[in-house]
Structure 1
Amino acid sequence: MGIQQEQPPVTPPPLSTPLRTATADLFGDPIDSHPLWFKQSSFLSPDFDSESYISDLRTFVPFETLRSELQSHLSSLKHELVELINRDYADFVNLSTKLVDVDAAVLRMRAPLIEIREKILGFRGAVEGSLLSLQGGLRQRAEASAAREILELLLDTSHVVSKDLNTNAMDIGSWVHKVEKLIKELHSVPADGFNGDLQTAERGHLSNGVSIQHAETGIILRETQSMLLERIASEMNRLKFYFAHAKNLPFIENMEKRIQNASSLLDTSLGHCFVDGLIHKDANAVYNCLRAYAAVDNTRNAEEIFRSTVVAPLVQKVIPYSAPGVVGGSIGDELEEDYKQIKHLIAEDCTFLLEISSTENSGLHVFSFLANSILKEVLWAIQQGKPGAFSPGRPTEFLKNYKSSLGFLADLEGYCPSRSAVANFRAEAVYVDFMRLWNIGVYFSLRFQEIAGSLDSALVGSGLTPIQKSDSEQGGSQYMTLKQSLTLMECLRSCWREDVLVISISDKFLRLTLQLVSRYANWLSAGLSARRTRNSGTNSPFEWALAAAPDDFVYIIHDLDHLAAEVCGNYVDDVFEILNSCSTEVLDLVKHSILQGGKSLKDLVPSVIDSIIETLVEKSNEELKQLHGIVAAYRMTKKPPPVRHSHYVSGVLRPLKVFLDGERASTYLTEETKGKLVQGAAFKITGRYNELAADIVNTARKTETSLQRIRKGAQRRAGASSDVSDHNVSETDRICMQLFLDIQLVAPQDKQGEISF
């Protein structure tokens, strides 16, 4: 041991004081505590690595500091070790006396452990051998199962190929021969009226001369033929299944040509039977034939046969396209009457097949006669007989044909038994191609040019164009007074007319509506801005605003008020009625956008009023310039103080009075608007009068002061008494008196404090 028994024990420290007392500082932290980066717990980690520990710390801790901390930690550990030894010193000394004959005890315990280990290893080897044997057996079993499946597939294929309708022992050649013979007999019976075992019965029927029995016999033969073909189709379906799953096997490859011949023969026979059933409208035969087509997954042939046999003759009666340029059913490229006739013919001659194919739980939902037979033939007939029907170059006729086509499609969807059938019908390629031919984007572009172009034409004129009453009444808006405003209202209503709007692109027409309002508002605001800045020039687009008189702006104010009221009132209601099928959220957005457009028109009224006021103030300023005559009248003169107003005063407010008393202002301006005009004009006129009067008075006072200074200097030089004063009224006082009299006449007030004339 590291400590001998004869050495005296280390004297333990008193129990009352620990070995290392850490003195706490002012904030309660030990003074000799380790820094935060020194983690003592890191040394106790099982995966502790000294090199990585040092490399991590060297980036921000110097080696000297790290060494000092490690030495301090080592010293602490040694002190703790000594403390532990001193605490249990008696047990530590007696430890060596208790470890007697340890090796013998270890040997006694090792023997049974070795024995158990050998038994476990032996058992483990036996289990591994059994497991390998079992895995090998399972592998062989899986291989045998796979081989058995292939063999069964080959046997079933051979069995099906060699299967007779009555026996199962024929080879492929005999089976094909039997099928050919059976199909020929089945096709010959409806043609000649007897065959095989039916010859005796048919001869009896012929001798009696009863034609009804011939029809009954034909029905029986068609039904029998269709049932046999359905059985053959089911067997052929099995052949195709086996061929698809084992087509790489030599046995199957040798039969490929025979299977194809048999399939071709079945398709031909099934086609003849299906055509015969369609011609005679034999529901049972048609039903069996459809099940046969569905069994062999050959729906396209059935749809094409129905199209060529039944649908094509019906459509050509309405839209003959065999001879170019020949149009039947209607004049030109209009389709509405053609669709009416086609819908009537479909209801008469095609309903029986559509009802059969939509029979519940029949498995015939795989057919799409509506799309691949009826719609495909109608589309082909229109493309060949009336190609101009799809042309958006004539927007009115195009929209009429488009809406008629949507009605025709809706009528076809009425034959669908469920919503899923409607979705499948719309997903068909023919349906997609049919809708793609109607180029709604080009149609909207033409309508956009037509509607927006008419508004632009009305706005590019060199002046405002008042309209006559008859023109206003014809436009349907008897409240409008300008041609530009009437054109805007007509264009806005054109966007939502029944013969213009396409619901599927109503968002584009809404955008056009807002663009029209914005175009009119920009035209008016730009003209007012050009009028304020006097932005004139050759071919200026704002010439109308520069040449407009205040009375012309009365029309604009009137039209803006009624346009805003109409857009935010009846117009919004009409749009809501058209879009009533949309969600509430969409309707709210539409209403908000249109109301915002109406508000933009209403917001232009103050600018127009300001433009009128500026014009009236300019005219009044011409009269105010005569204020300078007051100075000339009293300067350097002995004219007595004034007793009456100046002659110019009566003309200062004359332009405003003439404007308000005019016919247009009296007819089209509301009292509220008149009040705003009077207040605005009076405020600016009196403000200008105040500026001129103040300037005149200030100038007069300065001049008078200078003259008095000069006069007094002259008197002193002449020896006259300087205290002599002129008790007469000065020039400035007389000027102020005249201005006071003028102001009393310029701005008289009534009892309510409002300006009156």
Structure 2
Amino acid sequence: MAAVEAPGMVSMGPTNVAALFGDDVDTQPLWFKKDAFSDPDFEPDEYITDLRRFVPLETLRAELGSHLSVLKNELVELINRDYTDFVNLSTKLVDVDGAVLRMRMPLTELRSKLVSVRESVGSSLSLLQDGLRRRAHAISARQILELLLDTAHVLSKVEKLLLELTAMPEEDGPAAAAAASGGGSNENGDGIANGTHSDGNGNSDADEGGRLEESRSRLLERIASEMNRLKFYRARAEDMPFIQNMEKRIAAADGTLATHLRRCLEGGLEKRCKKVIYHCLRAYAAIDDTTGAEEAFRVSIVSPFVQQILQQSSSKGIAALAGDGLDKVYEQVLTRIETDCRFLLEIAYAANSGLHAFNFLSNSVLKEVHAAIVKAKPGAFSPGKPAAFLCNYKASLQFLSALEEYCPSQQAVKTFRSQAAYSDFMKQWNLSVYFTLRFQEIAGALDTALPSGSLTEAQGGPVKVENDTSEFLLHSSAVLWKSLQRCWHDDVFIPTVADKFLRLTLQLISRYTLWISAGLNARKVNITGVGTASGGEWATTATIEDFVLVRHDVDVVARLLESQYIDRVVAVLASMPAESLSGVAQCIRQSAQKLRELLPMIADIMKELLAEKSQEEFGRQLTKYNVKAREISSYVSLWQFVAPAERQSVDI
């Protein structure tokens, strides 16, 4: 097979004439980059488009043709150089199928071995997983069995302890004798049982009875701990038939424990035995029944003295507490809280006591006071009498503040305010209805004082402004200032609805401003006859003297709003943030500024009225002079007909 020769090839060999003379066949222009053809992202159209900006197409075609010839020559040289290997390639490809068969046999055997190993491993894995499942099932069954056994054991233990508790005597020794002889208290008025030792705070216990009650409270705490375990076990297996069969026993044990625990706590509260109370509260906390302890304290301690105070307030013989006033009631309740409840609050709020889950202030004291007042004095919460309602509301806020003083920390205060009893007590005060009544009272007085027919001067002469040398000349202005002052008076204002009273203040100023503005517009329409106006009929009949009074009062109101009134409002809202106070002052200043903008319009109307009045007066005087001139002219005309001798006798 002959070697391949490229077209135009010279017989002298692979090197051409240019190579003999030393010319570089790879010499191309700088703009021609042959490496770009080897780029995987090579795009012919884009390549030609880019080069057309530098060289003509004919030059590019010639250069590409030259490069193609070089490539063909290199291909021919490459084939001629390895021509022998290229020819022998076909002779070496002999018995390819046999080689494939020889290679396939060991691969097939290896595949079969791998399949058998895979099946063996899969079988072993299935057996292992099945064993693990059986093991897990056995472990779960064992855990359930242990849980059931523990539940039964704990329930039996609780029942045994309850029997032991029931078998304990109620009173023995000196305590029983004291109870039989007269009640077991020391007759000193504080309800503390007689005993032989004191804890230093005035709380003493009967010797034998105290030890018995303390033992009972300790046993109750132990039973409560076991009952907590029992409830935990029951919650984990409550769907099991075994547990369901024990529900009646568990409920009976729970009820018996609650009864004895409440009885023991009430006894400890009556005798003020701190150890007994502490153990009982820990027992209540163990069974997560804080409501039971709070209810026991409310019924046994709080309710009796609250009912007693309210019964006294309802009796006709005590005039100071009669009616729906609550201030005296709160005073007595706080006195009794200090004497009868403080010891328990100190126990519950003691550091590291573990009893902070109890909220006796809200769920016992406040709840009982609220319920008793609603029952005995339902009219105390009625806003139908705004003055009495406000007094009771402020007294209630002071009562809540006094209760918060028993809280040892800010977190305790937040907890007290977050309770449902606190929310229910605050919801009892319908502040919206109270504000509505005050709104009708204050805004109605101003609407009545703003006449539509004619202006009314202040009754009894000018009204002096308190703490200022100014005075109001119109009745409407005096009523406006009185209404504005009343919005922030102690007998009307409530800080809880401060935003509503501020809105009412701005509405009053706006109502007065619109009344003046409507009058000025009506006066303008009446003079020019252009446009329509309503609500300012008073200005159509007003004289220049009336507008003098209006301008005086508008100037006084605006000046007082910007000075004295802002200081008053800011002083009332002193507890608010500085940014809020600044915003309140800015709102009032803007309202005063809108009122001041009416002063130039009032001055213009006064100028027009003064000009009209001067013109009318000049016309009247001119008419009078014209009549007099006509009389003189007639007299002169008659005078010329009188004889000269008779003129001396005529009196001109």
1:270-328 deviations in Å (ceiling 9; x for gaps): 11111111111111101111111111122222111111111011112221299899988
Q: Counterpart of 1:463 in 2: which secondary structure?
A: coil
The 10-residue stretch of structure 1 (473-482 or 422-431) with the greater mean CA deviation from structure 2: 473-482
Cα 1:616–1:157 change in 2 (3 A) is same
Contact 2:171/2:209 (<8 A) preserved: no
Cα 1:103–1:531 change in 2 (3 A) is farther
Q: Which of 567, 570, 573 is equivalent to 1:579?
A: 573
Distance 1:544 1:141 in 2: 101
Q: Which of 78, 91, 102 is equivalent to 1:91?
A: 78
1:600-643 deviations in Å (ceiling 9; x for gaps): 111110010011112122234447889999xx9xxxxxxxxxxx
Task: Give the aligned partner of residue 586 of structure 2.
Answer: 592
Q: Which of 484, 505, 509 is equivalent to 1:492?
A: 484
Alignment of 1:534-549 (within 5 A): 534=526, 541-549=535-543
Q: Could you tell me how far 1:85 is from its partner in structure 2? A: 5.3
Count of residue correspondences: 555
Distance 1:156 1:579 in 2: 64
Cα 1:11–1:298 change in 2 (3 A) is farther
Q: Could you tell me how far 1:360 is from its partner in structure 2? A: 2.3
Q: Could you tell me how far 1:115 is from its partner in structure 2? A: 8.9
2:121 is aligned with 1:138: no
Task: Give the aligned partner of residue 250 of structure 2.
Answer: 259
Task: Give the aligned partner of residue 616 of structure 1.
Answer: 610
Cα 1:601–1:120 change in 2 (3 A) is same
Q: Counterpart of 1:364 in 2: which secondary structure?
A: coil
Distance 1:355 1:336 in 2: 26
Distance 1:161 1:269 in 2: 17
Task: Give the aligned partner of residue 179 of structure 1.
Answer: 162
User: Which residue type is aligned with residue 78 of structure 2?
Assistant: D
Q: Could you tell me how far 1:457 is from its partner in structure 2? A: 0.7
The 10-residue stretch of structure 1 (602-611 or 569-578) with the greater mean CA deviation from structure 2: 569-578
Q: Which of 349, 354, 366 is equivalent to 1:358?
A: 349
1:365-390 deviations in Å (ceiling 9; x for gaps): 22111111111110111101111111
Q: Which of 261, 274, 295 is equivalent to 1:283?
A: 274
User: Which residue type is aligned with residue 515 of structure 2?
Assistant: W
2:398 is aligned with 1:407: yes
Distance 1:78 1:188 in 2: 126
Q: Could you tell me how far 1:190 is from its partner in structure 2? A: 8.3
2:176 is aligned with 1:193: yes
2:595 is aligned with 1:601: yes
Distance 2:169 2:603 in 1: 95
Distance 1:129 1:212 in 2: 81
User: Which residue type is aligned with residue 394 of structure 1?
Assistant: K
Task: Give the aligned partner of residue 505 of structure 1.
Answer: 497
Contact 1:186/1:225 (<8 A) preserved: no
Distance 1:130 1:332 in 2: 91
Distance 1:383 1:326 in 2: 22
Alignment of 1:684-699 (within 5 A): none
1:315-369 deviations in Å (ceiling 9; x for gaps): 1222129989998861211111111111111011001111111222322122111
The 10-residue stretch of structure 1 (20-29 or 409-418) with the greater mean CA deviation from structure 2: 20-29
Cα 1:624–1:481 change in 2 (3 A) is closer
Q: Could you tell me how far 1:574 is from its partner in structure 2? A: 1.6
User: Which residue type is aligned with residue 183 of structure 1?
Assistant: T
Contact 2:165/2:219 (<8 A) preserved: no
Task: Give the aligned partner of residue 566 of structure 1.
Answer: 560
Alignment of 1:663-678 (within 5 A): none
Contact 1:395/1:443 (<8 A) preserved: yes
1:642-672 deviations in Å (ceiling 9; x for gaps): xxxxxxxxxxxxxxxxxxxxxxxxxxxxxxx
Distance 2:571 2:602 in 1: 34
Unmatched 5+ residue regions in structure 2?
A: 10-15, 17-24, 35-43, 59-63, 178-192, 197-204, 627-652
Distance 2:110 2:52 in 1: 65
Alignment of 1:203-218 (within 5 A): 212=195, 215-218=206-209
User: Which residue type is aligned with residue 305 of structure 1?
Assistant: A
User: Which residue type is aligned with residue 527 of structure 1?
Assistant: G
Q: Which of 6, 9, 14 is equivalent to 2:6?
A: 9
Distance 2:538 2:411 in 1: 61
Task: Give the aligned partner of residue 527 of structure 1.
Answer: 519
Distance 1:384 1:359 in 2: 34
1:531-565 deviations in Å (ceiling 9; x for gaps): 111299xx974332112111111111111112111
Contact 2:555/2:596 (<8 A) preserved: yes
Contact 1:325/1:385 (<8 A) preserved: no
Contact 2:171/2:212 (<8 A) preserved: no
Contact 1:303/1:373 (<8 A) preserved: yes
TM-score in terms of structure 2 length: 0.76
Cα 1:322–1:348 change in 2 (3 A) is closer
Q: Could you tell me how far 1:398 is from its partner in structure 2? A: 0.8
Unmatched 5+ residue regions in structure 1?
A: 33-76, 165-174, 195-209, 633-757
Alignment of 1:246-645 (within 5 A): 246-320=237-311, 330-460=321-451, 462-467=453-458, 472-473=463-464, 478-534=470-526, 541-622=535-616
Contact 1:517/1:597 (<8 A) preserved: yes
Distance 2:213 2:319 in 1: 36
Alignment of 1:57-206 (within 5 A): 86-92=73-79, 94=82, 96-97=86-87, 99=89, 101=92, 107=99, 114=107, 118=111, 128=122, 131-163=125-157, 175-176=159-160, 179-189=162-172, 193=176
Q: CA RMSD in A?
A: 4.0
Distance 1:487 1:546 in 2: 22
Distance 1:523 1:368 in 2: 56
Contact 1:464/1:544 (<8 A) preserved: yes
Distance 1:475 1:307 in 2: 51
Q: Counterpart of 1:570 in 2: which secondary structure?
A: helix
Contact 1:329/1:338 (<8 A) preserved: no
Contact 1:530/1:542 (<8 A) preserved: yes
1:80-106 deviations in Å (ceiling 9; x for gaps): 999855543333463733646367799
Distance 2:338 2:56 in 1: 101
User: Which residue type is aligned with residue 466 of structure 1?
Assistant: E
Contact 1:327/1:386 (<8 A) preserved: no
Contact 2:462/2:472 (<8 A) preserved: no
Contact 2:265/2:277 (<8 A) preserved: yes
Q: Could you tell me how far 1:116 is from its partner in structure 2? A: 11
Q: Could you tell me how far 1:23 is from its partner in structure 2? A: 7.9
Distance 1:483 1:193 in 2: 81
TM-score in terms of structure 1 length: 0.66
Distance 2:371 2:279 in 1: 29
Q: Counterpart of 1:527 in 2: which secondary structure?
A: helix
User: Which residue type is aligned with residue 162 of structure 2?
Assistant: V
Contact 2:330/2:395 (<8 A) preserved: yes
Cα 1:456–1:23 change in 2 (3 A) is closer
Cα 1:266–1:480 change in 2 (3 A) is same
Alignment of 1:38-53 (within 5 A): none
Distance 1:187 1:340 in 2: 38
Contact 1:319/1:328 (<8 A) preserved: no
User: Which residue type is aligned with residue 408 of structure 1?
Assistant: F
User: Which residue type is aligned with residue 599 of structure 1?
Assistant: Q
The 10-residue stretch of structure 1 (281-290 or 129-138) with the greater mean CA deviation from structure 2: 129-138
Distance 2:601 2:49 in 1: 85
User: Which residue type is aligned with residue 568 of structure 2?
Assistant: D
Distance 1:98 1:486 in 2: 127
User: Which residue type is aligned with residue 182 of structure 1?
Assistant: L
